[in-house]
Structure 1
Amino acid sequence: MTSGPEVRDNTVEDRFELFVDGKLAGIAEYQDTASERAFVHTEVFADYAGQGYARRLVDAALDSTRQQGFGVLPLCPMVRHVVESQPEYLALVPAWARERFELPQ
């Protein structure tokens, strides 16, 4: 039996990890400040590409970040794309950073 994708926050490695059928399938790396979490790199490994896993990983990472009370700095292009396309995630980006990342105000 296969299990669905699972996303875990690996705070030791400063990254969210996507597992598919128990195997590491992708990562979303971050760096925390006192009030913001900067997403610096997202990668879904080749065997899992093109199956929507990157979006699941980023959605879960952003949801967890919101629950933890951090603002979001979308340095990673994938995270920026998701933030830009979802108003509920755009609200996580501090107003001062929206202009810097050329995001809607």
Structure 2
Amino acid sequence: MSELSVVHEIEKHRFIIIDAGKLVAEMTYSPLGDDRFIIDHTGVDQAYSGQGLGYRLVDAAVAHARAKGMKILPLCPFAASVFKKKGDEYADVRF
């Protein structure tokens, strides 16, 4: 398997990972004004489970928030658990 890249589909409010033309991981979000967004869902194809793709999606969202000066409200249980594990590392973008 080649290195899988995270793609930000801004118009669809999601970060995705595609492998060989197949959507294998997705994290969706809902904007809250111009400076915040809610992560509301993270899902990874079962065949790709355990490869850290969900973490990569959350990391991409955090990088986006930092670049744009935004805050994130991680309502998705997976994203919330990642924010809890990362603690201070993500504190600057947590809403």
TM-score by length of 2: 0.85
Aligned to 2:74: 74
- Where 2:12 maps in the other structure, the secondary structure is coil
Is the Cα–Cα contact under 8 Å of residues 36 and 70 in structure 1 kept in the other structure? yes
* 1:47 CA displacement: 1.7
Aligned to 1:28: 27
> Relative CO higher for 1 or 2, CA cutoff 8 Å, sep ≥ 6?
2
- Where 2:3 maps in the other structure, the secondary structure is coil
* 1:21 CA displacement: 4.6
* 1:45 CA displacement: 1.2
Aligned to 1:102: none
* 1:59 CA displacement: 1.2
Bigger drift between 15-24 and 43-52 goes to 15-24
CA distance in structure 2 between the aligned counterparts of 1:4 and 1:21, rounded to whole angstroms: 11
Is the Cα–Cα contact under 8 Å of residues 10 and 16 in structure 1 kept in the other structure? yes
Aligned residues: 93
- Where 1:12 maps in the other structure, the secondary structure is helix
1:54 aligns with 2:54: yes
CA distance in structure 1 between the aligned counterparts of 2:18 and 2:65, rounded to whole angstroms: 18
User: Which segments of 5 or more consecutive residues in structure 1 lack a partner in the other structure?
Assistant: 95-105
TM-score by length of 1: 0.78
